[in-house]
Copies of this chain bind each other. A is one copy, B any other.
Amino acid sequence: MGKGLLFVVSGPSGTGKGTICKELLARTNVSLSVSMTTRKARNGEVDGLNYYFVSRKEFEDTIAQDGFLEYAEVYGNYYGTPQKAVLSKLEQGRDVVLEIDIQGALKIKEVYPKGIFIFILPPSMMELRKRITGRGSESPDAIDIRLGEALKEVSYIDKYDYCVVNDEVHKAVEKIIAIMNAEHSRVSEDIYSLIENYKEEL
């Protein structure tokens, strides 16, 4: 009964939201929102799975048709959340999970305030530094900047409904599954059809 729910999983880069979402997909029947981008596919990335890889022209056409829930340009590449795919799944009663950075999540909240917003936190800044360093792709200075940004981003947490510390992925996923289940028990408009049924019975 009723529509599906949109779960927005967000957090600073390095907190592991990607890994969490992958496990959510494996363990529940939630559907993933796949983003559209103009950046080139990296080794191993699959079109339609990791991203929809499109040309600048296609992307800008989609913008012109109001086809994104949100989009942004980052270092010369576009990234966006296609609106139709998300809304049609929700309409069919399927839950959708959307992995996105803080700025994107805040834009989603404006256009779809009924979404459920989950902030993924690192266990500590030390641990976040370790994780970013582990990726091996950035200089110590760049890492300091990234950590400073992460701290700024955390201040938006009061726009979110839930926060989950990603200490162990397995536990974080358990918590998000509990959130998903609980949100299906929320008092919402759906319940009024059940109450109408009660009335007809009496």
Contact = CB atoms under 8 A, between A and B. Distances in A.
Given A125-B202, A151-B199, A202-B125, A175 B185 contact: yes
Contacts of A160: 187
By DSSP majority rule, is chain A's interface helix, strand, loop, or mixed?
A: helix
A5 to B, nearest CB: 13
A164 B185 contact: yes
Contact of A154 (B175, B177, B195): B195
Given A125-B201, A179-B185, A185-B178, A195 B155 contact: yes
A161 B191 CA distance: 12
Contacts of A194: 121, 165
Stoichiometry, copies per complex: 2
Interface string A131-164: 0000000000000000110010011011011111
A110 interface: no
Contact of A202 (B119, B147, B158, B181): B147
Contact of A182 (B121, B158, B178, B191): B178
7 A-B pairs closest in CB distance: A182-B182, A178-B181, A125-B201, A179-B182, A162-B185, A178-B178, A178-B182
Interface of A: 118-119, 121, 124-126, 147-148, 151, 154-155, 157-158, 160-165, 174-175, 177-179, 181-183, 185-187, 191, 194-195, 197-199, 201-202
